[in-house]
Amino acid sequence: SQKIEQNSEALNIQEGKTATLTCNYTNYSPAYLQWYRQDPGRGPVFLLLIRENEKEKRKERLKVTFDTTLKQSLFHITASQPADSATYLCALGGDDKIIFGKGTRLHILP
Protein backbone atom coordinates (compact mmCIF):
# COMPACT_ATOMS: atom_id res chain seq x y z
CA SER A 1 0.00 0.00 0.00
CA GLN A 2 1.03 3.61 -0.46
CA LYS A 3 3.17 4.93 2.35
CA ILE A 4 4.61 8.33 3.27
CA GLU A 5 7.34 8.67 5.88
CA GLN A 6 8.31 11.84 7.62
CA ASN A 7 10.72 12.00 10.52
CA SER A 8 8.52 11.29 13.52
CA GLU A 9 11.02 12.79 15.95
CA ALA A 10 11.08 16.53 16.50
CA LEU A 11 13.86 18.42 14.79
CA ASN A 12 15.72 21.06 16.81
CA ILE A 13 17.65 23.65 14.81
CA GLN A 14 19.59 26.67 15.99
CA GLU A 15 18.22 30.01 14.83
CA GLY A 16 19.92 31.22 11.65
CA LYS A 17 20.80 27.72 10.44
CA THR A 18 19.13 25.83 7.62
CA ALA A 19 16.45 23.35 8.62
CA THR A 20 16.00 20.34 6.33
CA LEU A 21 12.97 18.08 6.55
CA THR A 22 12.58 14.81 4.68
CA CYS A 23 9.58 13.15 3.08
CA ASN A 24 10.00 9.62 1.71
CA TYR A 25 7.36 7.58 -0.04
CA THR A 26 6.86 4.06 -1.35
CA ASN A 27 4.47 2.23 -3.66
CA TYR A 28 3.36 5.45 -5.30
CA SER A 29 4.18 7.59 -8.32
CA PRO A 30 2.73 10.97 -7.44
CA ALA A 31 2.03 13.64 -10.02
CA TYR A 32 2.87 16.32 -7.47
CA LEU A 33 3.98 16.93 -3.93
CA GLN A 34 2.91 19.69 -1.56
CA TRP A 35 4.24 20.98 1.74
CA TYR A 36 2.01 22.45 4.44
CA ARG A 37 2.69 24.11 7.77
CA GLN A 38 0.49 23.39 10.79
CA ASP A 39 0.54 25.33 14.05
CA PRO A 40 -1.00 23.91 17.26
CA GLY A 41 -4.78 24.16 17.23
CA ARG A 42 -4.87 25.37 13.64
CA GLY A 43 -5.47 23.80 10.26
CA PRO A 44 -2.60 23.19 7.83
CA VAL A 45 -1.53 26.07 5.62
CA PHE A 46 -0.27 25.45 2.07
CA LEU A 47 3.35 26.45 1.43
CA LEU A 48 4.70 25.00 -1.81
CA LEU A 49 3.79 22.74 -4.72
CA ILE A 50 6.29 20.82 -6.84
CA ARG A 51 5.30 18.65 -9.78
CA GLU A 52 6.85 15.36 -10.86
CA ASN A 53 8.73 16.97 -13.76
CA GLU A 54 10.29 19.64 -11.53
CA LYS A 55 13.47 19.13 -9.54
CA GLU A 56 13.40 22.19 -7.32
CA LYS A 57 11.10 25.03 -6.27
CA ARG A 58 11.90 28.12 -4.22
CA LYS A 59 9.79 30.66 -2.38
CA GLU A 60 11.54 33.25 -0.26
CA ARG A 61 13.47 31.30 2.42
CA LEU A 62 11.87 28.00 1.42
CA LYS A 63 13.24 25.45 -1.03
CA VAL A 64 11.75 22.10 -2.00
CA THR A 65 13.39 19.34 -4.02
CA PHE A 66 11.66 16.35 -5.56
CA ASP A 67 13.60 13.23 -6.56
CA THR A 68 11.27 10.71 -8.18
CA THR A 69 14.09 8.16 -8.47
CA LEU A 70 14.86 8.22 -4.75
CA LYS A 71 11.14 8.76 -4.01
CA GLN A 72 12.06 11.60 -1.73
CA SER A 73 11.39 15.29 -1.19
CA LEU A 74 13.54 17.59 0.90
CA PHE A 75 12.14 20.80 2.41
CA HIS A 76 14.65 23.46 3.41
CA ILE A 77 14.15 26.61 5.46
CA THR A 78 17.19 28.88 5.26
CA ALA A 79 18.08 31.49 7.88
CA SER A 80 15.58 29.83 10.21
CA GLN A 81 13.71 31.89 12.80
CA PRO A 82 11.85 30.91 15.99
CA ALA A 83 8.63 31.84 14.15
CA ASP A 84 9.31 28.94 11.77
CA SER A 85 8.65 26.50 14.63
CA ALA A 86 5.66 24.38 13.63
CA THR A 87 4.74 20.97 12.25
CA TYR A 88 5.40 20.52 8.55
CA LEU A 89 3.34 18.06 6.51
CA CYS A 90 4.13 16.69 3.08
CA ALA A 91 1.32 15.53 0.83
CA LEU A 92 1.48 13.44 -2.32
CA GLY A 93 -1.16 13.65 -5.00
CA GLY A 94 -2.21 12.28 -8.34
CA ASP A 95 -5.49 11.59 -10.13
CA ASP A 96 -8.10 12.51 -7.56
CA LYS A 97 -6.22 11.35 -4.49
CA ILE A 98 -3.97 13.16 -2.07
CA ILE A 99 -2.22 11.48 0.86
CA PHE A 100 -0.73 13.36 3.81
CA GLY A 101 2.24 12.36 5.93
CA LYS A 102 2.12 12.54 9.71
CA GLY A 103 4.35 15.59 9.78
CA THR A 104 7.62 16.57 11.42
CA ARG A 105 7.74 18.99 14.35
CA LEU A 106 10.38 21.64 13.91
CA HIS A 107 11.74 23.70 16.80
CA ILE A 108 13.95 26.68 16.01
CA LEU A 109 15.98 27.47 19.09
CA PRO A 110 16.80 31.13 19.78
Q: Could you list the residues that contact another protein (CB under 8 A)?
A: 4, 31-32, 34, 41-46, 49, 51, 89, 93-94, 96-103
**Looking at the DSSP assignment, which residues form a beta bridge with residue 58?**
63
Pairwise CA distance, residues 110 & 97, whole Å: 39
Cβ proximity to another protein, 37 vs 80, nearer residue: 37
Pairwise CA distance, residues 77 & 41, whole Å: 22
Closest CB 42 distance from another protein, rounded Å? 5
Cβ proximity to another protein, 9 vs 110, nearer residue: 9
Closest CB 39 distance from another protein, rounded Å? 10
Pairwise CA distance, residues 96 & 102, whole Å: 20
Cβ proximity to another protein, 17 vs 46, nearer residue: 46
Closest CB 12 distance from another protein, rounded Å? 18
Closest CB 15 distance from another protein, rounded Å? 26
* CB contact at 8 A, 89 and 36: yes
Cβ proximity to another protein, 45 vs 79, nearer residue: 45
* CB contact at 8 A, 109 and 12: yes
* CB contact at 8 A, 19 and 77: yes
